[in-house]
Amino acid sequence: MSSETAASDTETGTANTALQPTGAARRRGPFRVGERVQLTDERGRMNTITLEEGGAFHTHRGFLNHDEIIGQVDGSVVANNVGQQYQTLRPLLSDFVLSMPRGAAVVYPKDAGQIVTMADIFPGARVVEAGVGSGALSISLLRAVGDGGYLHSFERREEFADIARGNVETIFGGPHPAWKISLGDFQEEVVRSEEPGSVDRVVLDMLAPWECLDAVATVLAPGGVWINYVATVTQLSRTAEAIRADGRFTEPDAWESMVRGWHLEGLAVRPDHRMVAHTGFLLVTRRLADGVTGISVKRRPSKTEFSEEDLNAWTPAAVGERAVSDKKLRRAARDAIAGTNVKDNPAPAN
């Protein structure tokens, strides 16, 4: 197909779907059975539902039949049985990851956006990540690398991998061609599956990223970026000191991002009373060429030895990580997989 033909087809709304990136079709067209839809009522209250044939959304102010939404275009307004109006929209990525089934805490959109940008995740990049959790960060990374890229995700728990797989396939409309997920410890499995120096970016969301120094240094290409997401100051400090002592990486940089919304109503313009403040720290460094010794930044001497108390401060219990029951994980996995069962609407009769 020529570029002129493709452009003409796009203008008439009949673009060749084979040319669309994975997941693009899922973001367009009328609402389908199995899709998640965001409902906002007249008072701004928001609910996310999964459309089912014959299903209904119930509140203390009546019920809304799912059939009233199925087949409607994105952005429609529908009414329930007592006239209560609802605005219907497909959830944005930031909405989806906060409402999707989960077995572990998700990486917030503000941090995922920072990771994609500050780690320079580019189309076609070869990326490895650990751990997967519920798949929120995996979705952002797959969107960044595109169909021609490569994302290899490592997860220690099979239940989390199942939940992540369901969420990823829900938002992309099926398996993503650039994604591979493996079970096992990152530092052991990544060196078995990836060639030395073949990876462009490494993204770690784990309790002890300093344990992965050798594995990261082995698979990461010279100039490649290693970014870590950690929850506590102790984890941040220990990871930074381990990187400095190793000598195969650049001086690490660290930061956190905070997002504060604003209330907008006429002249009543003020910050919201609540904000998304600390969620985690990001620490980034880059791989130096083999045989090169990193340049040490001159600084005042400071304590770098960790006490027993420091070493225990990053354990799951110490950082407030709650144990997730097997029952909850199984339910989350079922909910995530259910989101992949989207049915295309029948084509309209001529």
Q: What is the pLDDT of residue 40?
A: 96
Question: CA 252 to CA 243: how far, in whole Å?
Answer: 7
pLDDT at 253: 97
State the pTM of this model: 0.82
Distance CA 153, CA 137 (A): 10
Query: How confident is the model over 276-334, as pLDDT tens digits?
Result: 899 999 999 999 999 888 777 666 656 666 666 665 665 556 656 666 777 776 777 77
Which pLDDT score, from 0 to 100, does residue 239 have?
97
Task: Find out whether 150 and 126 touch, Cβ atoms under 8 Å.
Answer: yes
**Three state DSSP letters for 204-256:** ECCCCHHHHHHHHHHHEEEEEEEEEEECCHHHHHHHHHHHHHHCCECCCEEEC
Q: Which of 140, 132, 112 is nearest to 189 (CA)?
A: 132
Q: Point out the residues of the chain with pLDDT beneath 50.
A: 1-17, 349-350
The reported pLDDT for the residue numbered 22 is: 93
pLDDT of residue 233: 95
Count of CA atoms in the C-beta half-sphere (13 A) of 133: 22
Structure tokens at 225: 């970026």
Parallel/antiparallel/unpaired status of strands 62-65 and 56-59: antiparallel
Give the pLDDT confidence score for residue 306 in this predicted structure: 61
